Amino acid sequence: MKKNRIQRLFLPMILCLLLCFPVRVRAEEDASAALSISAPSAILMEASTGTICYAKNETEELPMASVTKVMTLHLIFDAMDNGQFAADDPITISEHAASMGGSQVFLEPNEVQNAETLIKCISIASANDAAVAMAEAVAGSEEAFVQMMNDRAAALHMDHTHFVNCCGLDAEGHYSCAKDLAIISRELILRHPQIFSYCTIWQEDITHTTDKGSFPFTLTNTNKLLKQYPYATGLKTGSTSVAKFCLSACATKDDMTMIAVVMAAPTPKDRFRDATTLLNYGFANTALYRDTDTPSACRAPLKKGCADFVSGEASSVFFYITTNAADLSLIECRKNLRKDLTAPVKKGDTIGSLDYYLQDKKIGSVPILATETVKKADYAFYLRRTFLQFFPADKRSGT
């Protein structure tokens, strides 16, 4: 009887405490699920590893508006890196490029601007006319450039993307998804980090010089996140009546770069709010490990070669990202050189790996590649080596 009275007394108090202080189960998933994202499709990716930290309908195929220009800029910088043209090379504006509607800087037919100015027009003001002018300079025609875009998309396994134009104007069959746009955004910023020196410019004046004379034109950045978010570094906005409001946003904090892609947000404020939510979530819930002490060089034993060892080095720096609050200081690197290595070995062949473990669980590896070519030893090699063993140089010289 006394026991029942105690239960009746304390049970309501216990229930009250449970309601006031709910138990957190699987906190990481709860935090992700609790994100309030207004856009129907979004993704958050860590740039150095490509790790997806959050996703919402990330493969849904949607019109992408001017976020298209991320691929356009990527191919432009590729062409520059390949020596096809330089930043100060003159580009003549065609009738077709000048006819582009939508977002533009009002280039005129036969107007001449250098390549860097047109890149600024694309990066800052999202200019469709400048995008088409550069596409023609790279590939000869917009159609040929669009084929390059689709070829690159296929190579990057952007399986839910198809381009019809290089600027993002609404067109049948022109679509992408949040995941694919994150992939190409990552490709652009890792391979061509110079993009940041363009897409972070808030305002800059250019000069139109035509038959009508010269006059200034002010470029103003369409990415308001640059003013609203302290860690923002880019990358590209886009909006049309069909695509609504899209954004590929990059931000860097504590040496970690996040890419947040938002598609079809209902308003401009919503796309920036969604991107801010995603980026804040990423920086608060992820940690990045970068092995800055990777061994610079090593030697692997070699059988039947003209040398007993072959030199090698790690092919890249190892990165690892976690969202579960793991102690990354416990990560251990173990060198694993092949024991069955037999000549010939070519420069670039894999001769081992650097394997990384966290509390004895393997979390990744980096190949060790040969930095030299070692030929297979033949009869003449062994004969010469035997001769040198019996008649070393000091004896042959009479010393």
- Tell me the catalytic residues: 66, 69, 126
Whether residue 324 contacts residue 51, with contact meaning beta carbons closer than 8 Å, is answered with no
What kind and span of H or E run contains 204?
strand 203-210
CA distance 359 to 361: 6
Q: Where are the alpha helices (DSSP H) in the chain?
A: 2-20, 27-33, 69-81, 95-98, 115-125, 128-139, 142-155, 178-191, 196-199, 225-228, 268-285, 379-390, 393-396
CA distance 222 to 224: 6
What kind and span of H or E run contains 315?
none
What amino acid occupies position 46? E
Q: Which residues contact 81 (CB under 8 A, 6 or more apart)?
A: 192
What is the chain's Cα-based Rg?
Answer: 29
Whether residue 67 contacts residue 239, with contact meaning beta carbons closer than 8 Å, is answered with no
Other CB atoms closer than 10 Å to residue 150's CB: what's the count?
Answer: 15
